[in-house]
């Protein structure tokens, strides 16, 4: 009786690996909403790059606060997303929380960037909720921002957001990262 059980479990493991079934996947996420939100964030970032940066192009960038970099070790490439998308999803959520904090601060500025901060924060918070992230705010603590730093900080973060939004749109455009397939017309490369 013990041998058939081991055989069945072994066959299930072989079929699971052979079919490339994803592991450690999040449950209950509406991937259509996440896809739509990531594309909306990318469109907003593209618009901000062309419209907002036109009046900030001569402003020196101010780099302040923590940076979130998506690196190769975060496994956001198609092969790793198919095998185990959790490392990439965790990094994306961490980055979105960081942008929620950053653009939350920017939305309190007393210049043109305040409107930008509010627009970005609205899209980012919705994305975090779509990703079933219960706490949309980062725990990062920021130093006080001086008024002369505001335009440079705004410029720096719009540029970073644009780069991040491209990666995010590529990762989530096909929907659930665990189900990326080679013959999908939206396959991430």
The pTM score is 0.73
Q: What is the mean pLDDT of each run of 10 residues along the chain (189 residues)?
A: 48 37 56 88 91 73 70 79 83 89 87 88 91 70 78 88 89 64 47
C-alpha–C-alpha distance, residues 166 and 38, integer Å: 9
What is the pLDDT at residue 189? 38
Ramachandran bin of 184, using left for φ above 0, alpha for ψ from -120 to 50, beta for the remaining angles: beta
Instruction: Characterize 122-155 residue by residue with b for buried, 16 or more Cβ atoms within 10 angstroms of its Cβ, and e for exposed.
Output: ebbbbbbebbebeebebeeeeeebeeebbbbbbb
What is the pLDDT at residue 119? 93
Closest C-alpha among 138, 123, 157 to residue 41: 123
Give just the sign of the alpha carbon dihedral 22, 84, 125, 35.
Answer: negative
C-alpha–C-alpha distance, residues 173 and 177, integer Å: 9
C-alpha–C-alpha distance, residues 169 and 43, integer Å: 10
User: H or E stretch including 122?
Assistant: helix 113-130
Q: What is the DSSP letter of 66?
A: -
- Structure tokens of 1? 């009786």
Closest C-alpha among 106, 109, 104 to residue 147: 109
How many CB atoms are located within 10 Å of the residue 180 CB?
Answer: 22
For 57, the 3-state DSSP assignment is coil
């Amino acid at each position: 009786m013990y041998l058939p059980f081991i055989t069945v479990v072994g066959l299930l493991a072989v079929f699971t690996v052979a079919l490339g079934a994803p592991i450690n996947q999040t449950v209950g996420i509406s991937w259509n909403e996440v896809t739509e939100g990531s594309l909306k964030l990318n469109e907003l970032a593209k618009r901000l790059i062309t419209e907002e940066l036109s009046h900030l192009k001569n402003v020196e960038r101010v780099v302040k606060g923590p940076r979130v970099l998506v690196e190769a070790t975060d496994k956001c490439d198609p092969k790793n997303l198919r095998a185990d998308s959790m490392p990439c999803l965790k990094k994306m959520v961490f980055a979105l929380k960081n942008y929620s904090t950053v653009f939350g601060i920017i939305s309190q500025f007393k210049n043109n960037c305040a409107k930008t901060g509010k627009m970005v924060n609205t899209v980012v918070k919705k994305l975090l909720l779509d990703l079933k992230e219960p706490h949309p705010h980062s725990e990062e603590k920021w130093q006080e921002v001086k008024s002369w730093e505001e335009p440079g900080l705004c410029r720096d973060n719009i540029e970073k957001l644009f780069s991040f939004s491209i990666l995010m749109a590529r990762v989530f455009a096909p929907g659930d990262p665990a189900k990326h397939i080679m013959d999908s017309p939206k396959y991430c490369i």
